[in-house]
Every structure is written in structure tokens, then in C-alpha cells.
Structure 1
Amino acid sequence: MNLNVPTLEVQMEIFEGPLSVLINLIKRNKVDIFDIPISMLTDRFLEYVELVKQMNLRIAEDFIEMASLLLYIKSRMLLPREEEDPRMELVERILEYEKIKIMVSAFQELPVLGEDIFPRGQGGFEVEQDQDLMALCTLFFELIKSREERFIVIREIRPTLEEKLEALRAVLAELGVYSWNPRGDMDTSEKVATVLAMLEVVKSRLANFAQKRPFGTVVLTRR
């Protein structure tokens, strides 16, 4: 018996994270992001996770977390209709992720400050560096989102960005490593300037980036 039930396609690809998997599924199958067929999307996402397991590839914790969230939303969709659509949390996360991706892409197009003084690495960006920029842009996005007057913040930090960048380069040159806790006592404007300086250093390939968990301590190591 053919019930003509729509299906979502999934192919074995390597993605940056769980949200990029979901976005790929949504775009490939032309799904309305504001009316996501959560049951099918959950099934296809779990299929992808299972395929990765079968290939003996490591499943990151964020994939397990996303699978749990999808199953939770799917279970809520089976209950009597709620005033708030349980899918909206997922929609907001996807839209925010897309904004950050656009920010990363735009930042990569900017000229590197001091590129006539500091040598650049051979070839284009590596996948690892793209992920570093994504993590830093996520941190930057959250910092400016916490302020109501975002554009005023940007004007405030411009005079201090060069100073932050110069200080960061000096620390890396002398010590070879720089660590920073985004939850420290700096005001928001100074935090934003610090993140922008780190973005510039990572983009110019002067340092490697490491962060064990989102919004945890950031460690830059001189290349």
C-alpha cells in the first residue's frame, strides 16, 4: 500500500557539526524551515549518526545532544497542541548558525591586517581553521547580542582594536601562548575588541586556536 508519505534524503558526507547536517537536509529537500517535518528530520539525522558509527568515526558530543533535542521535540509534537511550537528552539538555533556562517564568510573576505609584515601560510584555509573562525565568530556574535546598542559598541571598540592586536601579537611573540576567559571581568566592549583581535590573529595564521567547550577558556598557540 502506497501512502505517498514524503521522505527526506540523506547522503554520507562529513559536516562541521549537527546544525550543518540539519541545514543540508532542509535545503536539499526544500523543507520550509518554519514548518519542519520533525519526525522525518529526526529519523534522517539519526540515520546519519548511525552511518558515522558504522564507519568507526567518532561521534562528537554535540551530535548526541542534537539527537536528544530532536527526539524530545518529536515527543512533544505527539502531545496535544501547545501554544508555543516546540520546533521554534530548533529553528532559532538554525537561523543563528546561518548568521554566524555568513559572518565567517564575510570575515574571510576581509584583508588581513599587517599582511605586508607577517608572512602568510601556504595555500588556502584549512577545514580546521574554518572551524576556529566559526568558534570565535560564535563568541563574538553572543557578545554583541548581549548589548542593545550593537552599532555603538562597534564604534567604541575601533580605537582599541589596534592596541589589542598589538598586545596580543607581543604576547604570542614573547611567550608563544595566550589564554583568555570570556567570562572574566572585562566590560563587553573590551571583550568584543579582544575577540576581534583573536579573529585577526587566527585568520592571518599567526596562531592556532583551542577551546574545550563553548564560551570556555580560549587558548592561542603561536604557529
Structure 2
Amino acid sequence: MPHSIALDNFSGPLDLLLKLIEEKEMDITTVSLSAVAEQFLSYLEQIEERRPDELADFLVIATRLLLLKSYALLPYLYTQEEEDPRELEAQLRMYKKYADATALIQTAWEKSTTLYEKKALPVDIAFRPPHDMTTQKMREFFIETLARLEPVVRIPKAAYQKVMSLREKLAQIHDVIEKNVMMHFSELVSSAEDRGDMVITFLAILELVKQQSVVVKQTGSFSDIIIEKASV
């Protein structure tokens, strides 16, 4: 794609911008995709002849940039089980191949002096922009799409933290009791990362008491709980 763009933090061909982002040499969140779209559309308005292959190139790269930015801004909406996000990109590249082939056939047709008639074969078109597509509509489409990428509410970091399961906590406390025979409840919860971990620890102790694996004692109403290995 020969056309170059100029941003605050990048200047050069659009395909180079995509390459730098995919190779982690540039942060996609610092790139204004609306500015990229504006510059390309302004470029289309200035040239006299608009080439289909150039438009297809831009759509392929712009689509990939939109996907990368959506992953960066909304990582919690995507899972490993989802379909390959490059499906649309493949369809756009297929359209570009059709556009290139059409241009070659047109050139050969204009040069040929002999005409041959043959019934046209049905062709499944992977992707083709609407006939009424204009630069203004493309501008509105990109602005609307970019607006949807901004998350309304960011999920707190704590929501991503893995909580130890009751089964894992049971095994952990059981190993500690086996080695120490006796210990205090305060010692078990002193290394707890948050309240959730403390609750899991307390539930695990209750389960061990139920299983008769440990016994608990308390010398006073508000004194520390003593946990001992149950006698066989």
C-alpha cells in the first residue's frame, strides 16, 4: 500500500504500522484509528482514479488494527474458544484477489483482438462493499466502530485474581498440621492475601474437624484458636 499516514507517534506506510504493532514494537492503544481513517479517506477524495485493490488493502489492514485495538481495550470479552478473529481479514483478502484478477482480465480484454464467447461460471463473492458506499459513509462507519471499543466500565483488577479452592486449602492445611502437629489459627491466616482467602481457610478448618482429622481448642472466649492433629 503506497499511501503513507502521519500520526503523533508514527509516520509511514500503513502496513508498516500494522507490522510494528503485531511485533509489539508499538502500543495499539496509543494509535488513533479514526485519524488513520480520516487521512486515507481524504487521500481517496483527492485522487482522480480510485483503485479497488488499494481500497481492499486498506480494508484488510484497518480491520486487523480494529481487532487488535478491541483486544487491547476489552481483553475480558475474548476467550480462547472463540473463532479465529482473522476470518473477516481472510474474506477481505479474498476480495482483493478478485479485484486483482478483474483488473488483469480487463487489461487482457482491451489488448485482445479476438473475441470468444463462453458462458460465465457462478462465482461466490467472499466480500464486496455495497454499491452505494461513499467516503462519507466509510468515515461514519469507522467513527461508530471506534466509539464502541471504549469500555463503559473497566472490571477491577481484583476480579481477575484466582481464588484457592476449598479442596486446595484442605490439602495445604493438612500438610501443615502433619508437619507441625499443632498450630494457631492466627498463623494460618497471617499469610492470607485477602478476606476471601481467610474465609476459605476457616471453612477448610471446619471441614477437617468434621472429618475428625484435627481438633480445635480455645483457652478463652476471645483467645486464639489452637488446631491440633487428631489422635489416631
Is the shorter-chain TM-score for this pair beyond 0.5, marking a shared fold? Answer: no
- TM-score (ref. length: structure 2): 0.27
- TM-score (ref. length: structure 1): 0.28
Larger radius of gyration: 2
